[in-house]
């Protein structure tokens, strides 16, 4: 270890370790089965012995990636979670994401930290609004997408129809690697396109353990499955004729998507998906810095923070900053520099994360996700590095808020806890915190992409900081950036209000477009810039 806290390792070792990493996100519309699939993947990797995807059954534990009390109570993911495990010679970094559109900002940050994504489609619903948005984000970022059509054990749509929808609605060529034998709701198994064999699945009790599977040659499959097998083979021939054969280059270029069929809750088709990720998913590559210069994987250590989370360990309420390693070797105890502040940060407490479970981490390589504990000085978007020259990666976006609420402590004797909780929620990005001299520090404003963020913030202030709050929804529906704060009085006097975000941006809020239009007509000198969702 050098005096700067960096670790010097042979470039060949770093590149070899990076080549073992597969870092991907699981994304979809709400209720498509992301957390269930996440657990099924861990089950097939043999890092858990029994899945707990079916809630409410005696003796069954909850989904490993859903650890917040609200997640357990509602049965939905409202925050992203990281899981790392080995599968064969590969090291898998799996990031489960919230599906609800109100938490899309968290999902978009996670997408900045991965090399590929698994998109779940509900067999009965196909492409839903949030699915379409996430596909667009992946395309914009050049993230290769693997599509897993889930819930084939339940009644749903025709498989060819779902593939046609991928082409017609998002221009993504489907390349099925497995194909269902039996229509949705009568799932018999899949055809493995690599060898033409039939893989027949057997149910286990409640899907708690890995499903047994049996391989049959085509002749036996035809004899035992009859018309269902014949139909599946004919459909595959149609797909092949329409350009549906697998092309690795098109997948890596994010212009085509491998498609697999299965049922996460029954563990059908999950092993295929895991094997595909290990075999075909992209490895870490050099990440461009703010000047668009790629930083080599074997350059000195660098990473960027994509998530900050408090409350994962209720007994300590420590803060964990999740960082994606971009280059070099990370070693616990090294001193790194925060490019945002220029200040050093000691990495004495670093953990490998598996849902809510954590263990001490000593070494990490490009593609790994590390959890920096007691990281109160770190913020989302920070770059960490060792050695000169300094490096800084592009920041992560702050979304244009659409909902606003003034927040006050319900119990004034808990004001200290209230202020601490507000600061923490802002650091994590649970909500954006807006302030103004007129309202004072005792009455900040929550700004959110969706109203469920208010529920999460209020719940966490009460549960974690013992500071119940009152939320007063504000009537603003239009938000603009105000470059010159000297124009604030003009906004305030024309049915608007100017509030300042934590990054120093001044936001002008209006109840409707009419109020904005009146201000522009009366004071054309006031410059107001639009905020575009997904940008700061």
Q: Is residue 42 part of a domain?
A: no
The pLDDT value recorded for residue 357 is: 63
The pLDDT value recorded for residue 342 is: 94
Q: Is residue 253 part of a domain?
A: yes
The pLDDT value recorded for residue 102 is: 55
Same domain (yes/no): 145, 195: yes
Q: Annotated binding site: which residue ranges?
A: 96-100
Same domain (yes/no): 231, 248: yes
Same domain (yes/no): 121, 82: no
Q: What is the CATH number of the domain that holds 146?
A: 3.40.50.300
Angle at 21 between CA 20 and CA 23, to 5 degrees: 160
Q: Give me the half-sphere count of Cα atoms (radius 13 Å) on the Cβ side of residue 460.
A: 26
Q: What is the CATH number of the domain that holds 500?
A: 3.30.70.3280
368-403 burial: b if 16+ Cβ within 10 Å, else e: bbbbbbebeebbbbbbbbbbeeebbbebbbbbbbbb
Angle at 148 between CA 369 and CA 356, to 5 degrees: 35
Of the three residues 395, 430, 460, the one that is the final residue of a domain is 395
Query: Which residue do the tokens 């799996």 mark?
Result: 94
Same domain (yes/no): 300, 387: yes
124 SS3 class: coil
Same domain (yes/no): 275, 127: yes
Q: Is residue 169 part of a domain?
A: yes
Alpha helices in 201-319 (DSSP H): 218-225, 227-241, 248-252, 270-280
Q: Is residue 37 part of a domain?
A: no
Same domain (yes/no): 361, 276: no
Of the three residues 395, 428, 456, the one that is the final residue of a domain is 395
Instruction: Return per-residue pLDDT of the chain as tens, 536 residues.
Output: 333 444 556 677 999 999 999 999 988 887 888 888 888 888 888 765 554 433 333 333 444 444 445 444 444 444 556 788 899 999 999 987 765 555 567 777 888 899 999 999 999 999 988 788 788 878 888 899 999 999 999 999 999 999 999 999 999 999 999 999 999 999 999 999 989 999 999 887 766 677 788 999 999 999 999 999 999 999 998 888 888 899 999 999 999 999 999 999 998 999 999 999 999 999 999 999 999 999 999 999 999 999 887 765 555 566 788 999 999 999 999 999 999 999 999 998 887 765 556 678 889 999 999 989 888 889 889 999 998 889 999 987 667 888 999 999 999 999 999 999 998 888 777 889 999 888 887 889 999 888 888 888 898 899 888 999 999 999 999 999 999 999 999 999 889 999 999 888 999 999 999 999 999 999 999 999 988 544 33
Q: Is residue 43 part of a domain?
A: no
Domain range spanning residue 478?
Answer: 403-530
Same domain (yes/no): 303, 419: no
* Joined tokens for residue 409: 């402590």
Angle at 441 between CA 440 and CA 443, to 5 degrees: 75
The pLDDT value recorded for residue 8 is: 57
Q: Is residue 202 part of a domain?
A: yes
10: Cβ contacts below 8 Å, ≥ 6 apart: none
CA distances from 381 to 80, 229, 282, 535 (A): 16, 51, 23, 13
Q: Is residue 86 part of a domain?
A: yes
Q: Is residue 456 part of a domain?
A: yes
Same domain (yes/no): 342, 222: no
CB-CB neighbours of 357 under 10 Å: 13
Same domain (yes/no): 234, 373: no
Please, what sign has the CA dihedral across residues 457, 458, 463, 466?
positive
Residue 63: DSSP 8-state: P
Same domain (yes/no): 479, 511: yes
Domain count, the chain: 3
- Sequence length of the chain is 536
Q: Annotated binding site for GTP: which residue ranges?
A: 96-100
Of the three residues 257, 280, 303, the one that is the final residue of a domain is 280
For the chain, the 3-state helix, strand and coil shares in percent, each to the nearest 5, are: 30, 30, 45
Cis check for the bond before 395: say yes or no (omega within 30 of 0).
Answer: no
Same domain (yes/no): 149, 88: no
Q: How far apart are CA 463 and CA 127, in angstroms?
A: 36
Same domain (yes/no): 220, 192: yes
């Amino acid at each position: 270890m050098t005096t700067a806290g960096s670790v010097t390792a042979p470039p060949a070792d770093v590149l070899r370790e990076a080549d073992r990493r597969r870092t991907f996100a699981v994304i979809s519309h709400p209720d498509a089965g992301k957390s269930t699939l996440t657990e099924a993947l861990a089950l097939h990797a043999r890092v858990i012995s029994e899945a707990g995807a079916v809630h409410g059954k005696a003796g069954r534990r909850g989904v490993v990636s859903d650890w917040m009390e609200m997640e357990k109570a509602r049965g939905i993911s409202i925050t992203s979670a990281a899981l790392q495990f080995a599968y064969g010679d590969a090291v898998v970094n799996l990031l489960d994401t919230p599906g609800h559109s109100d938490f899309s900002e968290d999902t978009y940050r996670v997408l900045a930290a991965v090399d590929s994504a698994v998109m779940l489609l509900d067999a009965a619903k196909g492409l839903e609004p949030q699915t379409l948005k996430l596909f667009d984000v992946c395309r914009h970022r050049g993230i290769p997408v693997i599509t897993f059509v889930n819930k084939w054990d339940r009644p749903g749509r025709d498989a060819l129809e779902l593939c046609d929808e991928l082409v017609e609605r998002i221009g993504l060529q489907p390349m099925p690697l497995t194909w269902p034998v039996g229509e949705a709701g009568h799932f018999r198994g899949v055809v493995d396109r690599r060898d033409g064999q039939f893989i027949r699945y057997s149910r286990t009790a409640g899907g708690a353990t890995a499903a047994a599977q049996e391989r049959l040659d085509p002749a036996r499959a035809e004899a035992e499955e009859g018309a269902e097998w014949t139909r599946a083979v004919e459909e595959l021939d149609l797909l092949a004729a329409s350009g549906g054969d697998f092309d690795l280059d098109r997948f890596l270029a994010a212009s085509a998507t491998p498609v697999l069929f299965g049922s996460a809750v029954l563990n059908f088709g999950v092993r295929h998906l895991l094997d595909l990720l290990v075999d075909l998913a992209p490895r870490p590559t050099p990440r461009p810095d703010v000047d668009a210069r790629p930083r080599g994987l074997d350059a000195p250590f660098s990473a960027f923070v994509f998530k900050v989370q408090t409350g994962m360990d209720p007994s300590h309420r420590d803060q964990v900053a999740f960082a994606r390693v971009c280059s070099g070797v990370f070693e616990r105890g090294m001193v790194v520099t925060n490019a945002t502040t220029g200040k050093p940060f000691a990495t004495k407490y670093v953990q490998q994360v598996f849902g809510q479970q954590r263990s001490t981490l000593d070494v990490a390589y490009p593609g790994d996700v590390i959890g920096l504990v007691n990281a109160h000085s770190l913020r989302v978007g920070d770059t960490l590095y060792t050695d000169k020259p300094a490096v800084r990666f592009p920041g992560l976006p702050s979304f244009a808020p659409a909902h606003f609420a003034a927040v006050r402590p319900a119990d004034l004797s808990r004001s200290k806890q209230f202020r601490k909780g507000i600061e923490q929620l802002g650091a994590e990005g649970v909500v954006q915190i807006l302030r103004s001299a007129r309202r004072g520090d005792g009455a900040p404003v929550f700004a959110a992409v969706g109203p469920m963020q208010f529920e999460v913030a209020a719940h966490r202030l009460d549960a974690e900081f013992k500071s119940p709050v009152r939320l007063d929804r504000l009537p603003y529906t239009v938000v603009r950036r105000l470059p010159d704060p000297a124009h604030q009085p003009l906004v305030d006097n024309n049915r608007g209000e100017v509030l300042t975000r934590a990054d120093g941006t001044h936001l002008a809020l209006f109840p409707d477009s009419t109020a904005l239009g009146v201000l522009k007509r009366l004071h054309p000198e006031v410059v107001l810039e639009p905020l575009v969702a997904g940008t700061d």
